[in-house]
Amino acid sequence: MRTTVIKFLFFVITLIFPAVLYAQINDGAVIPGDFADPSIIKVNDTYYATGTSSEWAPHFPIFKSTDLKNWKQSGYVFDKMPDWAMGSFWAPEYYKIGDTYFIYYTARRKSDNTSFIGVASSKFPDKDFKDHGVMIAYGKEAIDAFIVEDNGQRYITFKAYGLDNRPIELLAYKLSADGLKTEGEPFSLLKDDQKKGMEGQSFLKRDGYFYLFYSAGGCCGTGCSYNVRVARAKTFAGPYEIYGNNPILFENDKWKCMGHGTFVKGPDDRDMYLHHAYNKQSTNITGRQGLVSELTWPEKGGWPVFKTQQIFGGAIPNTMDNFKAKAVGRNWQWDMRNSTPSVKQAKGVLTLSGTVTEKNNTGIVLTDRPASGSFVMTATVLNHNAALKGLSFYGDANMAIGIGTENDQVVLWQVTDNKYTSLAQSAVNAKQPVQLKMELAADRTCTFFYKQGKEDWKALTSQTQLRANRLPQWDRSPRPGLHFKGSSDLNAQFTSFSIVNR
């Protein structure tokens, strides 16, 4: 009886308040879902964090919190792609000079398809960022910016890939007073002579030492080996002594491939490290999620220790939206390489249409970041036309699955290696809305259902069992969301959307 009442109250709340709601499940991640390479800054009593968005637009989502545990998305660094860039939006880094906030970020330059470092600035930590273009174009690739201050001089550090048979190394330039340019020639801080990998660096100064924290190993995918290591030097320029007991942050019973983060003082002045890791159960379905670990200093002048790799976890978010808000939710993203969506929201209806690239056989998917490796996704399609519209679990334009309505039919479909296949169909009443459901089980099995009115859910099945194993891409998780595939003069109209994590 108690369970029934709780479920009823939860249902009523979701009808009244369209928003991101939170299931009280402590999963360890403070920012659940795909949020790699995070950077953090504290402004008065509020923390702001941003992270890698790869090929999803808008670019670099921003979250805020007052306790480092409960986070809410507040915006994006870029609603529009910078003119010089074409993709691979990685590793943004926060910094503040005077009353101006800076984001130093990595993106791929369209003129030569090479990843370099750009800079943007704003008077606010979570909106109105103005791009200033490429700042560091060094060698074959320059990524992972981080700012360090020493005796009144600021430096920008970065990772450079090996040039002319040289190893990967961490380099630094002097940074101009306005934070927008480099000065002089770069100098080397540390080289990857042992070929273990070296990136995602951050620095702390304590007891007369500069401590250089960096990530080593493979960053991404099920075969990743990421971990955090440390070196130190008496001066910023080095030479740096690598700690003999590295790594200092690595996998535990629940999380693996921890790395690439930045430090901030917690509410009680402890050193807290916001970084990413894969959940061992959901792995690349949820992607690299945002975690917080505490750094401790056992003795003065000694090496730091992550406190038993302690993770401070929040709650897993459920998404519930009835589209009655005045503005479209900030949680939505899309594959900017393959689609240009048109999204409108009014009077409880979200209308989705747009255009796709020539070789895109999937269509447009308005996606949400998955926070669990097992969930139930639902939506209600209001209109009927020749477009395919409904739900999709989307890896990219070449790899997706979904269920949708098309004229007077409901269709189960998949795209594999850029080939679209209709797997099953069933007739529906074209005068009634259609409710659609997709369930993702922990073993990656996907099942699909539909109903109209007060009917019970009906399964729509194919001869081949559908699984999500092939959906994840190398550096990003697949995304569940709303789907539209049709000519630009048609649209999909939705009156509800939900993702309930299990």
Contacts of 362 (CB under 8 A, 6+ apart): 338, 356, 392, 394, 396, 397, 398, 400, 415, 420, 483, 485
Q: Which amino acid, 108?
A: R
The question of whether 199 is a catalytic residue gets the answer yes
The question of whether 37 is a catalytic residue gets the answer yes
Block residue for tokens 């900017």: 336
Task: Look at residues 167, 110, 117 and name the one whose alpha carbon lies nearest to residue 144.
Answer: 117
Strands in 347-441 per DSSP E: 349-356, 364-367, 375-381, 388-396, 399-406, 409-416, 419-427, 434-440
Tell me the three state secondary structure of residue 313: coil
Find the catalytic residue in 27, 34, 37, 396.
37
**What would the DSSP string read from start to end of 215-228?**
EES--SSTT---EE
Q: How far apart are the C-alpha atoms of 398 and 382, rounded to whole Å?
A: 27
Contacts of 98 (CB under 8 A, 6+ apart): none
**How buried is residue 65: exposed, middle or buried, by Cβ count under 10 Å (0-12/13-18/19+)?**
buried
CA 210 to chain centre: 30
Strands 209-216 and 375-381: unpaired
**Residues 295 and 303 sit within 8 Å (Cβ to Cβ):** no
Block residue for tokens 């880094």: 93
Tell me the three state secondary structure of residue 11: helix
Find the catalytic residue in 27, 93, 131, 199.
199
Strands in 151-288 per DSSP E: 153-160, 169-175, 182-191, 199-206, 209-216, 227-233, 241-242, 255-265, 271-279
Neighbouring C-beta atoms of residue 134, cutoff 10 Å:
17
Q: How far apart are the C-alpha atoms of 481 and 402, rounded to whole Å?
A: 9
Q: Is the dihedral of CA 354, 360, 364, 368 positive or negative?
A: negative
- Show which residues are catalytic: 37, 199
